[in-house]
Structure 1
């Protein structure tokens, strides 16, 4: 009656789910997912390094690099974002270089360094979203009272 688990079908479902989500997600959520993706990929790479799982380490670092390059760096509006966008671009670029070296040298300390750079950015992004939502609620409340 039921067939065995089919990883290809599960992968297709996950891909469709992600593609569908991309159409309904706002920019805050997208950047949040990208930052979390970098941190999760590095955590996976660090675990793989500790276990001696070279393939998973390489794949995870490659994933983090791609998210930084193709997601976070390309999303920066360096003109409108001014100095902040320039600084984020520099942090992302430095992080990329450190991850490539960490991969080549099997250096956990370099991966930890990148985590220490990206975590505050991710937390600041989350806090910015919360503050924006709180400000919007305050405006809505004030308008309702008028």
Structure 2
């Protein structure tokens, strides 16, 4: 009973965060969501939970796909490089899922973590850009 209530509260909290988020925050939420799913997948691999691993990795792949599709390809070389990196991460996650490979999973967590730190570092610039559009 408690976990059902806690899950419902978390879902409402997530929905509120999304509704109140600006475009920069939405990307942050997606990055955090992908990293959370990969942490879940890692736990599933360690426990031998094949279905949980599969579901968590597939959700992470879908989130990274969403990040990839949201890129503004008119922004130049950085968008092209991010597109290639997102595609690489999706491939590595697929391999992690097929091979039960924690190292591949950890590699993607590290790469996405670097993107997240960089994204947080440009928060003010991104907000200024969005306001001037």
Answer yes or no: same fold by TM over 0.5.
yes
RMSD: 2.1
Cα shift at 1:66: 0.8
In structure 1, distance between residues paired with 2:81 and 2:96: 22
Q: 2:106 aligns with which of 92, 101, 112?
A: 112
Residue 48 of structure 1: aligned partner = 44
Residue 69 of structure 1: aligned partner = 65
**Contiguous gaps of at least 5 residues in structure 1:** 137-146
In structure 1, distance between residues paired with 2:78 and 2:52: 34
The TM-score, its normalising length taken from structure 2, stands at 0.82
**Contiguous gaps of at least 5 residues in structure 2:** 129-133
Cα shift at 1:16: 5.2
In structure 2, distance between residues paired with 1:110 and 1:60: 14
Matched, 1:103 2:97: yes
- Larger radius of gyration, structure 1 or 2? 1
Residue 84 of structure 1: aligned partner = 78
> Secondary structure in 1 aligned to 2:73?
coil
> Secondary structure in 1 aligned to 2:122?
helix
Count of residues in correspondence between the two structures: 126
In structure 2, distance between residues paired with 1:98 and 1:48: 17
> Secondary structure in 1 aligned to 2:72?
coil
- Would the alpha carbon gap of residues 6 and 54 (structure 1) be closer, same or farther in structure 2, given more than 3 Å must change? closer
